[in-house]
Structure 1
Amino acid sequence: MTAAQAPYRTRADEVAAALGTDAERGLDGPEAAERLTRDGPNTLPAARGHGPVARFLLQFHSPLIYVLLASAAASALLGEHADALVILGVVVVNAVVGFVQESRAEAALTALAALTRTTASVVRGGATVTVPAAELVRGDLVELAAGDKVPADLRLLRTDELSVDESALTGESVPAGKDPAALGETALADRRNMAFSGTLVTNGQGAGIVVATGAATEIGGVHRLMRTTGAVQTPLTRKISRFSRIVTVAILVLAALTFGIGVLYGRPPAEMLTAAVALAVGAIPEGLPAIVTITLAFGVARMARRGAIVRHLPAVETLGGTTVICTDKTGTLTQNQMTVTAVLAGGREYTVSGSGYAPAGTFEQDGRPVRVAAHPALRETLLAGAACNDARLFEEDGGWRIAGDPTEGALLTSAAKGGIGDAPPRTAALPFTSERRFMATAHDGGTVYAKGPVERILELCDDQAGPDGLPEPLDRAAVTARAEAFGGRALRVLAFARAPSERLDPLPRLTFLGLEAMIDPPRPEAASAVRACRDAGVRVKMITGDHAATAAAVGARIGLGGEVVTGADLAAGLPPERIDAASVFARVSPEQKLRLVRTFQEAGHVIAMTGDGVNDAPALKRADIGVAMGRGGTDAARESADMVLTDDDFTSIEHAVEEGRGVFDNLVKFIVWALPSNIGLGLVLVAAIVANASLPILPLQVLWLNMTAVLVLGLPFAVEPKDEAIMRRPPRDPSLPLLTRALTLRILLVSGILLAGSFGLRYWERVQGASPETARTIVVNVFAVTLIAYMFNCLSLERPLLWRGVRRNPWTAVSAAALLAVQMFYTYTPFMQRVFHSAALGLGAWARIIVFAVAAYLLIEIIKRLQRD
């Protein structure tokens, strides 16, 4: 491996030599232009997706739609133009609904490419120039300063207090300090001598040589993962697809048998083709796509009110079937805002309440609140943190923000909580460097403050401040032990000291003041949300790029204990049972996140993946449902996800799981209610052909039933309230079919009831001398009224819920009344009689229909009771 291929393991001058560049003057202009022509621009490949016309045409790519289109063509050939137009209208309406709901394809790649659209300060031929980042080439010498976005992957040559926020790429919760010294083999997040494309310089300045551009950068690697990672079908779409294939085959077989039997009986082929079309149209649940879409859309609206925006409709149902939630740590379970939680001053330990950058909180000692002004050592420690500080804390858009390093922002917040105002004006400063390993500032009034790692600050001190602020002997062992105790809780620790002096050169001997310990704290509601998910049978696994100790500490605080598995463990190869048992995965690369999601999916789990960084995007895309953070997340993460949390609150995922389960329950109720109509219509037609009788219902009448009864009576299922115990039951087994055996038997039973009622009442009318039009109108209304009664059966699939069901969902009564009104219009108006070949019915006919429907309702309730017992 050459120096240019593994630059972090090679000295900077060797990298420059390998790339043919000068570490001081950079590349010459002509050489840079030649390399740009040879290697191409520093951009990521653009996303390729279907255009709007192709996306619309794809809505017709379904076996059931093919059967409907063939039925429309057959109707047109037979001269039944009205039938053909109605069938085509149904198909087009469903296609338009699907097209409107489909989200933008591959938008994540566009978002990733946008990360490199910036400018860069480059040294070419010894002169510093500003060029578009797209024109950078390998070997270019790039200068960095605070606020810059790193334009390409750089091997750093020199640094001056340089810190880079790499959380979007690595998951590291605090900016990474940079040092140009060569390293051994190390993980991506620990490569301190590299600066990666798309990350943000938070402090200091530096310079580095471009070692990778475009698709060859680390962010380009994430881009490649995105392009090679296919989005998976949701469990609902997989089940609906399988259901569609089974129904299509069954319909074609039955239609062919119907046609063949009729021809064998000597009936005209044209009449049998009409019968086959009627069978196909009757058996296909044309209203199912519309009701599924409407039910999902209602779920989307309810979830939006609870802080979750769904970008792909089937994702609503997927959450209800989730068995494992793989969640990022930084910004998802935590606030991505460093917070001081403990202070050691004057030999006493204080706890600090409040989280994030909002300066609201209290100091306590042994559980009792204290006034900072009454504790001189504590006050001086907080003042040192505010004075020896380059960050700025400010309020914006109703929230508190920082400009600068998050660690220094946490120090400003803790000082503000203690009532510390502005520090005395600064007169001089010694910045932090990798050689010096501390920062010191001099201020008006003759005071010097210093901060840095504990061991380094202790080297500079001769004594320590006691509780009253006065000097006393320094107990190095006690301070070190307390710092190690903080570190054992995964807290980041900084030490502070002071001296009465106006000068920093030479630096006087210091008096040790105290320690401030901080962490990126868990969100206050994260622990309860994790507990609620577990109560619902959903396992939660934290997958982060942060250090193992930090991940373990956060995991313990939110209820995710047990073994911590690292990226190195995964690379070495772990048995599947250890991976399955672990709840915390740390120092994990984007490729390993993706591999973990695939591993859990191969084990049969339905995976929800949450995240906010570029490094999360491939796993978000691969998961059964990707959930991105709306406030703190990157564009790449949001565009890869199926759902975006507007409040970045993990609790919203718990609410979404609840909503998803409710949506699935409502879809199952609707399917159990709707399928008997389609199966029953098919059975009626097959029975008529086998019995060599005339068609009891015409294709156009079948379409009327499917589109009026199914849509009007199906709508109440979309707004059916959730079961009270919905989050106290385990998630459904993803391997189970959409319908259980008991529900399938119930569907077949109701289909048989509709068959019996249709033939029985039709036969009665024909014996009484009724016309074929009247007999067919009887069949249409038997189906309509019985489906009204059966709707009340299906408000609960386990127990009777008639009057209580109407009270909690009054739309059931409205829909029943609406369908009765529509059927009156169908039965009695001359226009409908001409178009649909219907006829008026007498009171006796209606009485028989209603008695039959009530009997069917009572029979189904008895069957439910027997199945429940």
Structure 2
Amino acid sequence: MVQTISSVGLPQEQPKVWHTLETATAIAYLETDLEKGLSSVEAKRRLTDFGANELTAKKGKPWWLKFLLQFNQPLLIILLGAGLVKAISGSFVNAGVIWGVTTTNAIIGFIQESKAESAIAALAKAITTETTVIRDGKKLRVQSRELVPGDLVMLASGDKVPADLRLVQVRNLQVDESALTGESVAVEKNTQILKADTPLAERKNMAYAGGFVTFGQAMGIVVATGNATETGRISQLMERHTDLSTPLTRKFDKFSQSWLRVVLGLATLTFVVGLSYRDLQDALEAAVTLTVSAIPEGLPAVVTVTLAIGVSRMAQRHAIIRKLPAVETLGSATVVCSDKTGTLTENQMTVQAIYAGGHQYEVTGVGYAPEGEILVNDQPISLNSEKGLQECLIAGLLCNDSHLEKKNGKWVVVGDPTEGALITSAKKAGFSQSALANEMPRLDGIPFESEFQYMATLHETPRGKIIYVKGSAEAILKRCTLLLSTDGQPHPIDCVETFRQTTIEREVNIMARQGLRVLALAKKSVSNDQITVDHGDIDTGLIFLGLQGMIDPPRESATKAVQACQEAGIQVKMITGDHAVTAQAIARRMGINKNGSVLAFTGAELAQMDKQELAHVAEEGVVFARVAPEQKLRLVEALQSKGEIVAMTGDGVNDAPALKQADIGIAMGGAGTEVAKEAADMLLTDDNFASIEAAVEEGRAVYKNLLKAIYFILPVNGGESMTILLSTLLSRELPILSLQVLWLNMLNSITMTVPLAFEPKAKNVMKQPPRHPNEPLLSSSRMKRILAISLFNWIVIFGVFEYIEYTTGNLNLARTMAINSLIAGRIFYLLSISQLIPNLIAKMDGTIEENVDIPAIGFGIVGAIILQIIFAHVPLINQVFETAPLNFQQWLFCLAVGSPMIIWAAVVNKIDPPN
């Protein structure tokens, strides 16, 4: 209901149903004048009341606070505490190293974090422009930020719509609102009153901020500015729905909390037991060493490097990752919600069916490239014998305001996509637009208007003057009294109404059910004296030439990718601003279904559902058409409420809230708006669904490699912790010191673990179902693996230390040899979980042809050996880390002690296969 006008001016709250109001009612409500507009004084007053016409973003956290928050992780807090204990006890070198490790991890996290305000900033740019207004009866050019409700705005072709407008005068206006509504073609506007429940994409008497005028002129009254616009409401949705944690971060948080409790319990036990026979400082050293040994300091760095390598691989497959955890999240996706236009389809209208002269024709080829054939009964036609088809194609070519160009080796349409499709179909038959235009020049024309649903052009031809007409089947057929047959001769339609219903309209319905957009074509001969054409000239007496049915066809690569995703257990859902019939037809063509059916729902139907109904529909539905921004957001939330990991694609402003809410938001890098790109986690450089499938494949491979990294690193921590605890309980000297633990956990672990990130993906990675979202990071079989390898590492460290100390009495030598024996075992373990040796064998057998990345594993092993040589033989390192040089026999001893890992790892691999 329209509110009563306040005595002190307009109320701050505006009505939400401007499209339902009469023009006079809207003018009265906004206290403006259709001739003079607002006065300058009133405009200034309203600018003070309503504020500038710009979007305001929530203030973000300062950079220093974001950096400090990186330390707010359980494991890092424990390390900071351990460093503080060492500092209080006077071990400043140890404390400095521990704090250096934690600071390094915090810096890595800080670099990864994106700025949340950037999406809103991009959104603000989307509606910033200059515009023409009428104030005090004069036309003025003002900045769009100065607009206020009640301003009278003039729109012309090429203008950006500066605010939400109720249109009051329209002349052939077409507005591209794809960024806001998802509508794939420009919308024809008018001033007719609409029903309250009319979807946003069908409100033809409104123009919304951020839209682009592609044709015509109009005048409209500003009804909303800034945050009150539809674009502004989207920005508020984006602020309310912050980025969710990813499956990987949730699992790491859970792992960290569990590990933290274990570490604190063991450290407390070690300290208490140590006090019974050691002084306070030694007891603290034992507790701190156990704490440092139990925490995998190198894991965050290894995870970051592994994800970064996944980013690089995805970039090679047209997927640019903006946020590192998105790499792994893709691998765990259970649902992909995809836009239709340009992602699943070519974004190029293509004529695929023609009905002319009583015959049905099939047109091959995709897009605007004039490559393909016109077939009848699967056989190429002889155009000379198909006069009716000739006339139908000529009409589409001449009654046309667009043309084709070749840019960068690719054919594009300059003008309307529908007209581009008509030109291409004629070119496939051998017609030239320029040649025909010279032979049959245009004298006059009637531009397309939504009121009449047709376009007409008058041409001078060798056979006399002819009017060609194209438009909707309904508008053209009722004006036809003759039919052109196959031989090119017009024949009277004996029973026009019956013929339309039983023949032509049947053909229209066949094309429509296939999702084709149908255009009817006709002509009329006129006297040679006529030099203009008017609506009255074509009210009757037209000769029906035929129908051309066109569609934005599916990408062949996207169809294969959809099938691959569904085979991998990933649901594919189409969420589009296009019509339900068209979207459903595309889904059927591509094989997008749920249990064999293609259920489609419209935005109007979704708006009537509660949360429970929506959750059920979101799970069972396949196509969601004509959806508003809030409904896209609700669909993503509904799927997440069912436990799904949702990947969402989009390219428009209207997609931004859903992109931000989704577990993984995917924006179009080519045609996408800056708003969508800023809100997304990933960009597609080729705007192709096939790249999503490739990215999912890489994401799954990354997760596999991450697991390998985890169960390669953790057994070292387990072995070290068991060693410290047992030594304390047995009142023995510590076999390994806290600084030596940091050397192992940071430098050595990273050097040997990073090569696992280069592991090739398994062949069956896309044949397996998605991981369950609640699957723990460490399953029972993985825990058995970690415990088994930890036990071996403990035996090596403790056994070598006790033996060397007993035989030599040299603590530093005993600790150095124990650590080097551990590293020797780790090298054999690395080879056991890597695909290097199996792939080399398969390569020699000719089983596989892929290149095997030998340098990564090789460099890792060589790097680890070099580090241990430095660890044992560089005097400064000997002094700081309390190590000792080894002779050749002692090095061989370490290698021999680590070699049983070959047999041990083989047994463990039977329990928990690494690949």
Return the TM-score normalized by structure 2. Answer: 0.91
Secondary structure in structure 2 of the residue aligned to 1:841? coil
Q: In structure 2, do the counterparts of structure 1 residues 366 and 125 end up closer, same or farther at CA, with 3 Å as the change threshold?
A: farther
Closer, same or farther: CA 579–94 of 1 in aligned 2, 3 Å? closer
Cross-structure match for 1:299: 310
The aligned runs of 1:172-251 (5 Å cut-off) are 172-185=183-196, 186-251=198-263
Measure the CA separation in 1 of the matches of 2:421 and 2:904.
68
Moved more, 769-778 or 43-52: 43-52
Shift of 1:843: 5.0
Q: Secondary structure at the match of 1:162?
A: strand
Q: Secondary structure in 1 aligned to 2:469?
A: strand
Counterpart of 2:522 in 1: which secondary structure? strand
Question: For residues 97 and 381 of structure 1, what CA distance do their matches in structure 2 show?
Answer: 64
Q: Which residue of structure 1 lines up, in the alignment, with residue 537 of structure 2?
A: 507
Provide Cα deviations, 1:712-771, integer angstroms capped at 9, x if missing partner. Answer: 111210101111111111111111111210111111121122212222222222222331
Structure 2 residue 569 is the aligned partner of structure 1 residue 537: yes
CA distance in structure 1 between the partners assigned to 2:398 and 2:478 by the alignment? 21
**Structure 1 counterpart of 2:700, one-letter code:** R
Q: Larger deviation: 618-627 or 46-55?
A: 46-55
User: Which residue of the partner structure matches residue 443 of structure 1?
Assistant: 459
Shift of the 432–868 alpha-carbon distance from structure 1 to 2, 3 Å rule, reads closer
- 1:70-101 deviation per Cα after TM superposition (whole angstroms, max 9, x unaligned): 22222233332322232233223323333333
Are positions 1:360 and 2:396 aligned together?
no
Matches within 5 A, 1:729-748: 729-748=768-787
Aligned partner (choices 84, 102, 106) of residue 117 of structure 2:
106
Q: How does 1:451-490 map to 2 (within 5 A)?
A: 451-474=470-493, 475-477=499-501, 478-490=503-515
**Alpha-carbon distance between aligned partners in 2 of 1:371 and 1:24, rounded to the nearest angstrom:** 60
The verdict on how the C-alpha distance between 1:188 and 1:717 changes in structure 2, with shifts beyond 3 A counting, is same
Q: In 2, distance between residues paired with 1:53 and 1:360? A: 59
- Tell whether the 8 Å contact from 2:307 to 2:325 is kept in structure 1 after alignment: yes
Distance 1:434 1:610 in 2: 32
- How far apart, CA to CA, are the structure 1 residues paired with 2:678 and 2:146? 26
Structure 1 stretch displaced more, 431-440 or 37-46: 431-440
Preserved CA contact (<8 Å) 2:614 2:635: no
Counterpart residue number, 1:386:
397
Would you say the 8 A contact 1:332–1:612 is kept in 2? Answer: no
SS of 2:762's partner is coil
Q: Which letter maps to 1:281?
A: V
Identify the range of structure 1 (225-234 vs 10-19) with the bigger mean alpha-carbon deviation. Answer: 10-19
CA displacement 1:124-148 (0-9 Å, x = unmatched): 2322222111111111111222222
User: How far 1:842 sits from its partner (Å)?
Assistant: 4.6
SS at match of 1:451: strand
Out of 606, 618, 630, the position equivalent to 2:657 is 618
Question: Which of 818, 830, 850 is 2:895 aligned to?
Answer: 850
Alignment of 1:276-355 (within 5 A): 276-355=287-366
Q: Please tell me whether residue 709 in structure 1 is matched to residue 733 in structure 2.
A: no
Matched, 1:819 2:864: yes
CA distance in structure 1 between the aligned counterparts of 2:451 and 2:327, rounded to whole angstroms = 54
2:800, 2:817 within 8 Å by CA — same for their partners in 1? yes
Query: In structure 2, what is the Cα distance between the partners aligned to 1:432 and 1:13?
Result: 28
1:593 counterpart (613, 627, 632): 632
Which deviates the most, 318-327 or 497-506? 497-506
SS class of match (1:316): helix
Say whether residues 1:863 and 2:908 are aligned partners.
yes
Moved more, 511-520 or 626-635: 511-520
Structure 1 residues 867 and 131, CA, compared in 2 at 3 Å: closer, same or farther? closer
Instruction: Indicate the larger mover: 585-594 or 759-768.
Output: 759-768
What SS class does the counterpart of residue 726 from structure 1 fall into? Answer: coil
Query: Given the alignment of the two structures, is residue 432 of structure 1 paired with residue 457 of structure 2, yes or no?
Result: no
The separation in 1 between residues aligned to 2:354 and 2:373, in whole angstroms, is: 12
Q: Distance in 1 between matches of 2:63 and 2:512?
A: 55
Offset of residue 659 of structure 1: 0.3
Do the aligned partners of 1:429 and 1:441 also contact (CA within 8 Å) in 2?
Answer: yes
- How far 1:356 moved relative to its partner? 2.6
Choose 356-365 or 164-173, whichever is displaced more.
Answer: 356-365
Is it true that 1:493 corresponds to 2:518 in the alignment?
yes
Asked if the contact 2:40–2:135 (Cα under 8 Å) also holds between the matched residues in 1, the reply is yes
5+ residue gaps, structure 1: none
663-672 or 431-440, larger mean C-alpha shift = 431-440
Tell me whether 554-563 or 389-398 shows the greater mean CA deviation. Answer: 389-398
Amino acid corresponding to residue 546 of structure 1 in structure 2: D
Q: Is it true that 1:131 corresponds to 2:142 in the alignment? A: yes
Q: Distance in 1 between matches of 2:546 and 2:58?
A: 53
- Say whether 1:2 aligns with 2:5: no
Once residues 244 and 318 of structure 1 are traced to their aligned partners in structure 2, the CA distance between those partners, rounded to angstroms, is 19
Deviates most, 93-102 or 654-663:
93-102
Between the aligned partners of 1:337 and 1:846, the Cα distance in structure 2 is 68
The residue number in structure 1 matching 2:549 is 517
1:446-472: CA deviation from partner (whole Å, max 9, x where unpaired) = 221112221221222221222122211
Structure 1 CA distance for aligned equivalents of residues 382 and 178 of structure 2 = 36
1:660 is aligned, of 681, 699, 717, to 699
Q: Percent identity?
A: 45
Structure 1 window deviating more from structure 2 (121-130 vs 551-560): it is: 121-130
- Aligned partner (choices 617, 640, 644) of residue 679 of structure 2: 640
Report 1:549-698 matches (<5 A): 549-561=581-593, 562-573=598-609, 574=613, 576-698=615-737
Instruction: Report the residue type matching 1:660 in the other structure.
Output: G
Q: Contact 2:398 / 2:433 at 8 angstroms: preserved in 1? A: no
CA distance in 1, matches of 2:713, 2:215: 63
Where 1:351 maps in the other structure, the secondary structure is: strand
In the other structure, the counterpart of 1:170 is 181
In structure 2, C-alpha distance between the alignment counterparts of 1:829 and 1:576, rounded to whole Å: 64
- Cα displacement (A) at 1:119: 1.5
How far apart in 2 are the matches of 1:693 and 1:596? 61
CA distance in 2, matches of 1:701, 1:448: 90
In 2, are the aligned partners of 1:202 and 1:404 still within 8 Å (CA)? no
Tell whether the 8 Å contact from 1:381 to 1:513 is kept in structure 2 after alignment.
yes
Query: Within 2, Cα distance between the matches of 1:651 and 1:290?
Result: 31
Q: Distance in 2 between matches of 1:190 and 1:412?
A: 28
Does residue 256 (structure 1) correspond to residue 268 (structure 2)? The answer is yes
Residues 1:264 and 1:314: Cα distance change in structure 2 (over 3 Å): same
Whichever residue aligns with residue 805 of structure 2, its letter is: R
Number of residue-to-residue matches in the alignment: 867
Distance change >3 Å, CA 20–CA 658, structure 1 → 2: same
* 8 Å Cα contact 1:793/1:802 also seen in 2: no
Quickly say closer, same or farther: Cα 1:356–1:382, change in 2 above 3 A: same
Counterpart among 575, 578, 598 of residue 546 in structure 1 = 578
Shift of 1:510: 2.1
Unaligned stretches of 5+ residues in structure 2: 4-14, 494-498, 845-850
Superposed displacement of residue 832, structure 1: 2.5
Contact persistence 1:47–1:110 (CA under 8 A):
no
**Residue 420 (structure 1) aligns with:** 432
Question: More deviation in 308-317 or 833-842?
Answer: 833-842
The amino acid of 1:655's aligned partner reads A
- 2:790 maps to 751
Q: Give, in angstroms, the shift of residue 30 of structure 1.
A: 1.7
How far has the Cα of 1:553 moved from its partner? 0.7
